[in-house]
Structure 1
Amino acid sequence: MSTIAEKIDAKDLSKKFPRSPREKVAGYVVAGRTLDKCRAAIAGTLGEYHYDCPLDRLFFDFTGIDSVKFQEFVATGADDAEVAAWIEQNSKQTEKREIIQWNNDLRFKRINEMPIELQEFLEGYIDEFIAPKGKTVYYWFDVYDIEEERI
């Protein structure tokens, strides 16, 4: 008998990392990571991660996709290609240039370009979890990729 995690191909995020926020699904950065966390939330394998967190909200707010409806569709067992098609059908964003601009804004966002509340949080977070590894954060997404050992 298969488990929910197997049906929806959910990663156990207590043992593995979700995708980098740089990895795209349906042409959107953040979407792959959001999808991994959504599947893990459904399967109960989210670990310390959070689905529908502020990073996920950036994706949902930009596309106009409801996070609950997204989760309901993902729970059907849809694979990445099916989820990508669903995102394309349900996103309010249809202009390729707007999507590219949004992707690049996030992909190359520096800490000093973020709201001061996030800068304040990241100041301590980077000192505690990133800097001891001897890595330099150039862009916001570096925080995820350094911590999750991709760079």
Structure 2
Amino acid sequence: MSTASNTLTSLAKDLSQEYPRSPRETLGGYVVAARALDKCRAVLAGTNGEYHFDCPLDNTFFSFTGIKGDDFKEFVATGADDEAVGAWINENSQVKERREVIAWNNKMRSTRPTDMPIELQEFLEGYIPQFIPSGKIVYVWFDVYDIEEERI
């Protein structure tokens, strides 16, 4: 096994046993990025469980930054740690103005299901009653992840 593979394996979470980071956590200054990284590492290490990398949530980050999921995955496969991935994101993002990143982060943090494309609203219409405990209220999209993964 190569050094990069050993490093990647040591950094990868076993997502069948623990959760990826909240989409609210930042990496390289971006929300969603740390969660995408956790899922990417787990996919590369074969420990992703039911989690998927390059999903609709990850794609909001990739679309905003102009980074391709495959390029992100290729860099992560080198065994880069969080700091190196954060630096790589900043080098490769098409967004260079910090204020644009702040505005996008805040938009993502406050996106309500009613603000989402109808396809995602339709998906959540069935997902929320199936996976979110009754009595828990989903105010914004990120709540779905944080409630289901027992952070709130």
Distance in 2 (alpha carbons) for counterparts of 1:19 and 1:5? 22
Shift of 1:15: 0.6
Of the three residues 119, 126, 129, the one matched with 1:127 is: 129
User: Given that residues 5 and 79 in structure 2 are in contact (C-alpha distance below 8 angstroms), is that contact kept between their aligned partners in structure 1?
Assistant: no
Q: Distance in 2 between the 1:69 and 1:121 partners?
A: 28
Q: Which moved more, 1:30-39 or 1:107-116?
A: 107-116
Q: How many Å apart are 1:46 and its aligned residue? A: 0.7
Indicate how the Cα distance of structure 1 residues 48 and 3 shifts in structure 2: closer, same or farther if over 3 A, else same: farther
Shift in alpha-carbon separation, 1:3–1:146, aligned structure 2, 3 A: farther
Corresponding residue for 2:36? 34
Runs of 4+ in 1 over 2 A off after TM superposition: 1-6
Give the equivalent residue in structure 1 for 2:14. Answer: 12
Deviation, 1:2, is 8.6
Name the SS of the counterpart of 1:55 in structure 2: helix
- Residue 127 of structure 1 deviates from its aligned partner by 1.1
Structure 1 gaps, min length 5: none
Q: Distance in 2 between matches of 1:137 and 1:29?
A: 18
Distance change (3 Å), C-alpha of 1:40 and 1:148: same
Q: In the alignment, is residue 24 of structure 1 matched against residue 23 of structure 2?
A: no
Letter aligned with residue 69 of structure 1: D
Distance apart, 1:5 and its partner CA: 6.8
What TM-score does the superposition give when structure 2 sets the normalisation length? 0.93
1:1-151 alignment to 2 at 5 Å? Answer: 6-8=6-8, 9-132=11-134, 134-151=135-152
Query: What residue identity is the alignment partner of 1:77?
Result: G
Question: CA offset at residue 6 of structure 1?
Answer: 4.9
Identity of matched residues, %: 67
Which amino acid letter does the alignment assign opposite residue 147 of structure 2?
A: I
TM-score, scaled relative to structure 1 = 0.94
Indicate the RMSD between aligned Cα atoms, in angstroms. 1.6
Structure 1 residues 5 and 17, CA, compared in 2 at 3 Å: closer, same or farther? farther
The alpha-carbon deviation at position 20 of structure 1 amounts to: 0.3
